[in-house]
Structure 1
Amino acid sequence: MYWNFPEMIKLFSGEDKSNMLSEGNFGVERESQRVTSSGNLALTPHPSVFGDKFENPRITTDFSESQIEMITPPLKSASEVYSVLKDIDAEVRDGITKGELLWPLSMPPKLPNEEDIPVAQFPDTKEGREKQIYRNGLALRYGKKMQMISGIHYNFSFDDKLIEFLYGEFKIEKSKREFIDEIYFSLTRNFLRYHWLLIYLFGASPMCDETYHSVICSELEKIEKRCPCCAGVIKEFNKFATSLRVSRFGYSDTDEKKYNVYFNSLKEYENKLKEMMRAKSEKYSKLGVYKDGVQIQLNGNLLQTESEFYAPIRFKRNIKKGETQLTALVNRGVEYIEIRILDINPFEEVGIGIVEMNFLQVFNVFCLFEEGKFIDEEEMEKINTNHQLVALLGRSKDLMLYKYDGSKTPLKDFSEDIFEKLRMVAKVMDKNSVEKIYSESVEIQYKKLYNIELLPSERIYREIKDKERSYIEFGIERANIQRGEKNERKLF
């Protein structure tokens, strides 16, 4: 990129510039399964009170008919997003079938047999049919159980004032659109390098119900065939996992490794995704595109559409009629980023807290300030390895991670290096504020390095193990607590 970290800290230390770092456009998409009072997946249709799935901008479904998706509009602060998400959450709880609950965890509730899991239904229109066939294809390729995992997507873009300031300050001899793309691609490369820290701090899916074990057993069989020496360690995941959801036992892109997307430029991003959407998959082609005259997947390629590309972070652009997300990006550039690795936190009323969102803003600015060198195949291998290590073994006190100079280091030491910079960023962001919300968010997360009992993943593990109850019993308790919190809020 055009700068380095010390230079950017110095540049924004002036009181007239620091406010630009906390401003922007923010949004959240939160998925949640509807369940019965006993923790079984609800098999009822998407409530009609929420209207057409295509027309309601706040409440729709994701993969399954039982999987509610709540969407905030873009807003000017994280606190506004949190407030609106609470309102949408309350509307959902009012609208779902009496006796049903919203599942408060990312890993699924008690699931029925594969064939009984209800895929989301859409109108018999061109768009509706495409969505239907795409979901049927996902079920065919990965199994319905894996698609029942839920999470939180956090959307963000910088304020135009910040973009204008940087564009003028560094006298860029490129169009502003090219400059904006480069900013977000540089931020994304640094996000990939360090996002393992977010998995450690916010991972909240260390365990799952036994009805999901068939997915895990299938993956363990693959691991034992490819890497027998790894299998024994990975089987310890129950003790040390932070996030099964983002591990190879959840959403995984292991079949896409040879098409690694390095996020070095929009052109590379476009070419790689198009290549994956064109590449014939022997495995998926064998499944067939039609069965008994009915289309069961969009195609037999590695990706049916670009939406099937599972990445920790993605670029987004509001689309126009006739565009796909990718063509919108190519035509008009990056508008915002979508962070996709956040688990639902069962200890938060709406699955994510304001402190977490404030920390994410500090983390995004840190990723902007870092130099953002290009990623190559060797570094991407370390990035992917660190991701899996922290997701499956993050709570192990002996965990070693790969630094990008080729060395290995304890997770805590690597984290200390990052937190040193996060503190500097937060201090600059708080310069004109009395409350110091960004510095406070950093210190709250820093404590988790030396007290794992503060980690959501450890709290969940202990709540289940120490009280000798099941994953489902824990989920039902948290769901009822959240429902109670909503009722109390209405009283006042």
Structure 2
Amino acid sequence: MNWNFSEISKSFLKDDRGKLLVEGNFGLEKESQRILPSGDLALTPHPSVFGDKTENPRITTDFSESQIEMITPAFRSIEEAYAELDAITVEVENVINNELLWPLSMPPKLPDENDIPIARFSDSRNGRDMETYRKGLALRYGKKMQMISGIHYNFSFGEGMVDHLYEQFGNGKDRRSFVDEIHFALARNFLRYRWLLIYLFGASPFYHSSYYPVIKNEIELIQNSCQCCVDFIENFNQYATSLRVSRFGYSNAFKHKQDMYFNSLEEYSAKLRRMMATKNPEYSQLGTFKDGSQIQLNENVLQKENEFYSSIRLKQNIIKGETQLDALEKRGVQYIEVRILDLNPFERIGLNIDEMYFLQIFLLFCLFEESSPLNKKENEVINLNHHLVALYGRKEDLVLQKYDEGAVSLKSWGKEIFGRLKDLAELIYKSTGDDRYLIIVEKEYQNLFDTSLLPSEIIHREMKSRNEDFLEFGTRYAVTNSHKNSIRKFDHVDEKL
């Protein structure tokens, strides 16, 4: 984009336009495994009371029959979206009886690979395709990797702010092209700076031993393909912030070796469609049918667009019969989906309201910062920073690569980014009198320099101080976070009174 942070910020100082910065639409999607009180994966069917998985817009499943997915609609405020996810969580907990919701992104105790239940769907064309797609995922990546869960943050800017940007910086373009352009610019900057979110909010530093086959397989791949990388992966358990988003987690970027730069909708669409139309020799060897049953949708690099994993997606509301890519091509970008967040076990629904506000101002920063097109070289550095922070983020002297400027410490680069975030928070305060963004940015700024405040470090210290293993820790918080357990706590207080 041909703008800079200072120029665009100043444009919001006139006529109290800074209030446009806080307007938007917010939604959440949360995946969570159902478990038994022992911490074992629950192998019971998805509760029938929630109806057809393809028809329920609020409660469905993700990859597994045991992996429940809770979805809110879009709301005009963060508080409404948060409250709705909390309400859906309560609704689920009231139905699953003696089962609990696993509070961590890395899976609970998993059974043997063959015993992990793939989500089942109705015997319709759509239902059969959804089930076959999941069979294909299991075949290509293994079921255990698919059992990782997370929380997605959906956000769109208010129309008033988009109108203002178009008036100031549209330069004669048609509005839809401009809107697409600024969202793709934002996505590129999100890729550049996402390491900061991994550092601040990563909450998956450990895994259960039943997940180890995935770790072992990845280590062997590294040893066979990149001997110089072996040292890089040693001792990751000591410093990891988010195994979920590391190469030990759910990411097929290395497997496909496809670079998605988000330089334009046209480029994005062409690459995605090419991957969906190009046969993969490895998947062709697996075949499409086995013993008379379809085991994957096709033999292509991607069975369908959902298979392409990215830490951010640009989306458009779909009309029945469309794919997400169809909708994007027809009507352009409508909202942003942030997919990089771990479930935080210390929060009942997996994140807190402050984190949602921080993400809002972080996305504003990504929008306002200059965003040149990405290329292969920069993309490689971006991915390196991502995995360095995911595996070594709590290492005090961690050094990242600042693209054209060479090596830089994580904390000094973070300090620079926080300078921009503070400027935005002050602009909002001047325009609206709302100081909550200032308070939240300052709080996370302290976390930048004090690793003891990071969720990943708190998990590490708490497990160590209580002499707990991964399963004991997760099960304890599954009970603590349960709505039914909260009611029992309050009932106990009432009795004492």
CA distance in structure 1 between the aligned counterparts of 2:487 and 2:281, rounded to whole angstroms: 52
Quote the offset at 1:222 in angstroms: 0.6
- Determine the structure 2 residue equivalent to 1:34: 34
Letter in 2 for 1:242: T
Of 354-363 and 439-448, more deviation after overlay is shown by 439-448
The residue correspondences of 1:267-306 to structure 2 (distance < 5 A) are 267-306=266-305
Structure 2 CA distance for partners of 1:490 and 1:119, relative to 1, 3 Å: farther
The residue correspondences of 1:199-218 to structure 2 (distance < 5 A) are 199-218=198-217
CA distance in structure 2 between the aligned counterparts of 1:400 and 1:127, rounded to whole angstroms: 48
- Determine the structure 2 residue equivalent to 1:438: 437
Q: How many residues align?
A: 491
Aligned CA RMSD, in angstroms, stands at: 1.5
- Determine the structure 2 residue equivalent to 1:12: 12
Is 1:114 paired with 2:116? no
Quote the offset at 1:17 in angstroms: 0.7
* 3-state SS, counterpart of residue 362 of structure 2: helix
Quote the offset at 1:257 in angstroms: 5.6
CA distance in structure 1 between the aligned counterparts of 2:394 and 2:16, rounded to whole angstroms: 41
* 3-state SS, counterpart of residue 405 of structure 1: helix
1:15–1:432 Cα contact (<8 Å) kept: no
CA distance in structure 1 between the aligned counterparts of 2:468 and 2:305, rounded to whole angstroms: 41
Of 163-172 and 270-279, more deviation after overlay is shown by 163-172
Of 248-257 and 74-83, more deviation after overlay is shown by 248-257
Is 1:344 paired with 2:343? yes
CA distance in structure 2 between the aligned counterparts of 1:4 and 1:329, rounded to whole angstroms: 27
1:90–1:486 Cα contact (<8 Å) kept: no
CA distance in structure 2 between the aligned counterparts of 1:17 and 1:365, rounded to whole angstroms: 14
CA distance in structure 2 between the aligned counterparts of 1:301 and 1:407, rounded to whole angstroms: 38
Quote the offset at 1:172 in angstroms: 2.6
* 3-state SS, counterpart of residue 195 of structure 1: helix
CA distance in structure 2 between the aligned counterparts of 1:352 and 1:461, rounded to whole angstroms: 18
- Determine the structure 1 residue equivalent to 2:183: 184
* 3-state SS, counterpart of residue 46 of structure 1: coil
* 3-state SS, counterpart of residue 430 of structure 2: coil
* 3-state SS, counterpart of residue 403 of structure 2: coil
- Determine the structure 2 residue equivalent to 1:425: 424
CA distance in structure 1 between the aligned counterparts of 2:428 and 2:343, rounded to whole angstroms: 27
Of 35-44 and 255-264, more deviation after overlay is shown by 255-264
1:104–1:345 Cα contact (<8 Å) kept: yes
Quote the offset at 1:322 in angstroms: 1.9
Q: What is the CA deviation profile of residues 190-222 of structure 1, one whole-angstrom value per residue up to 9, with x for unaligned ones? A: 111100000000000000000001100000001
* 3-state SS, counterpart of residue 387 of structure 1: helix
Quote the offset at 1:230 in angstroms: 2.0
The residue correspondences of 1:403-482 to structure 2 (distance < 5 A) are 403-482=402-481
The residue correspondences of 1:282-431 to structure 2 (distance < 5 A) are 282-431=281-430
CA distance in structure 1 between the aligned counterparts of 2:157 and 2:346, rounded to whole angstroms: 29
CA distance in structure 1 between the aligned counterparts of 2:454 and 2:11, rounded to whole angstroms: 34
- Determine the structure 1 residue equivalent to 2:260: 261
Quote the offset at 1:99 in angstroms: 1.2
Note the residue ranges of structure 2 that are not aligned, 5 or more in a row.
none
- Determine the structure 2 residue equivalent to 1:168: 167
Is 1:22 paired with 2:22? yes
Letter in 2 for 1:146: M
Quote the offset at 1:474 in angstroms: 0.3
Of 423-432 and 389-398, more deviation after overlay is shown by 423-432
Of 245-254 and 301-310, more deviation after overlay is shown by 245-254
1:15–1:431 Cα contact (<8 Å) kept: no
Is 1:158 paired with 2:157? yes
CA distance in structure 2 between the aligned counterparts of 1:88 and 1:258, rounded to whole angstroms: 38
Q: What is the CA deviation profile of residues 145-204 of structure 1, one whole-angstrom value per residue up to 9, with x for unaligned ones? A: 000000011111111111111111224312111111011001111111100000000000
* 3-state SS, counterpart of residue 34 of structure 1: strand
Q: How high is the TM-score relative to the length of structure 2?
A: 0.96
2:32–2:101 Cα contact (<8 Å) kept: yes
Quote the offset at 1:256 in angstroms: 5.4
Letter in 1 for 2:58: R
Letter in 2 for 1:78: I
Structure 2 CA distance for partners of 1:423 and 1:364, relative to 1, 3 Å: same
1:313–1:338 Cα contact (<8 Å) kept: yes
CA distance in structure 1 between the aligned counterparts of 2:255 and 2:369, rounded to whole angstroms: 28
CA distance in structure 2 between the aligned counterparts of 1:258 and 1:91, rounded to whole angstroms: 41
Q: What is the CA deviation profile of residues 121-150 of structure 1, one whole-angstrom value per residue up to 9, with x for unaligned ones? A: 000101001100000000000000000000
Q: What is the CA deviation profile of residues 5-40 of structure 1, one whole-angstrom value per residue up to 9, with x for unaligned ones? A: 011121113461111111111100000000000000
* 3-state SS, counterpart of residue 16 of structure 2: coil
CA distance in structure 1 between the aligned counterparts of 2:428 and 2:347, rounded to whole angstroms: 25
- Determine the structure 2 residue equivalent to 1:67: 67
CA distance in structure 2 between the aligned counterparts of 1:47 and 1:172, rounded to whole angstroms: 53
Q: What is the CA deviation profile of residues 22-67 of structure 1, one whole-angstrom value per residue up to 9, with x for unaligned ones? A: 1111100000000000000000000112122122111110000011
Letter in 2 for 1:284: Y
Letter in 1 for 2:336: I
Q: What is the CA deviation profile of residues 308-342 of structure 1, one whole-angstrom value per residue up to 9, with x for unaligned ones? A: 00011011111112211111100110111110000
CA distance in structure 2 between the aligned counterparts of 1:171 and 1:204, rounded to whole angstroms: 40
* 3-state SS, counterpart of residue 341 of structure 1: strand
CA distance in structure 2 between the aligned counterparts of 1:81 and 1:302, rounded to whole angstroms: 36
* 3-state SS, counterpart of residue 57 of structure 2: coil
Q: Percent identity?
A: 56
1:188–1:367 Cα contact (<8 Å) kept: yes
Q: How high is the TM-score relative to the length of structure 1?
A: 0.97
2:66–2:117 Cα contact (<8 Å) kept: yes
1:172–1:179 Cα contact (<8 Å) kept: no
* 3-state SS, counterpart of residue 16 of structure 1: helix
CA distance in structure 2 between the aligned counterparts of 1:325 and 1:132, rounded to whole angstroms: 18
CA distance in structure 2 between the aligned counterparts of 1:247 and 1:154, rounded to whole angstroms: 19
1:4–1:369 Cα contact (<8 Å) kept: yes
Letter in 1 for 2:476: E
Quote the offset at 1:234 in angstroms: 0.7
